[in-house]
Amino acid sequence: MFTAQGPIQEFLKYSSSIAQVMPAKVKAFLGVQVMAQPGEKRSVTVLIVDDSDDLRELMVFQIQSLGYETVEATNGLEAIEVARQTSPSLILMDINMPLLDGLAATRVIRESGQFPKTAIVAFSAYLGGVHRALALEAGCNEYLSKTECVDKLENILGRFAPLI
């Protein structure tokens, strides 16, 4: 695996013209951070956590088309690690997943104290009621059914992670 060292790493860190044209995955790999210029929109990262590849792909497409950056996880354990690495502004968290469910992952994320400003919106195939109460109790800011989450995605992004 190639990692930029010495002068190359320093150049990539501080060269905004290169960093702006580099794909997000390359930026993350090289540790490049891009700061918004005055008057520019800052980048907002949304973490999408779902074990369904199809739903994640649909949400990534919709969210990126609105100008957001996305990162993904397929279970609660991955969600915790990706959140630590990327500090997302918003986490869209499925409740029912293998290895570690969304409620347990939400508790770990909230209890870590590292993400006080990160909103977590839980979604599930189950309709509200007791599942909504459990999600809010675990530390989620909102609970929606999967169809609501997809249908109201633009509203959710505007409410919890607006592009400035």
pLDDT digits (tens, 9 = 90+) for 119-133: 999 988 776 678 888
Strands (E), the chain: 45-49, 69-73, 90-94, 119-124, 142-145
**Domain encompassing residue 18:** 1-35
Cα dihedral 78, 79, 81, 87 sign: positive
Tens digits of residue pLDDT in 51-85: 999 988 988 998 998 889 999 999 999 999 999 99
> Please, which residues have CB within 8 angstroms of residue 130's CB and are 6 or more apart in sequence?
none
SS3 (DSSP) at 94: strand
Claim to verify: residue 9 and residue 54 sit in the same structural domain:
no
Give residue 155's pLDDT. Answer: 87
Angle at which helices 53-65 and 153-160 cross, to 10°: 60
Tell me: do 19 and 96 sit in the same domain: no
Question: What is the rounded distance in angstroms from the CA atom of residue 45 to the CA atom of residue 9?
Answer: 23
Looking at the fold, whether 68 and 98 belong to one and the same domain comes out as: yes
In contact, 76 and 102? CB cutoff 8 Å: yes
Q: Which range among 9-18, 32-41, 139-148 has the greatest average pLDDT?
A: 139-148
Question: Do 138 and 97 have their domain in common?
Answer: yes
Residue 118 shares a structural domain with residue 140: yes
In a domain, 40, yes or no: no
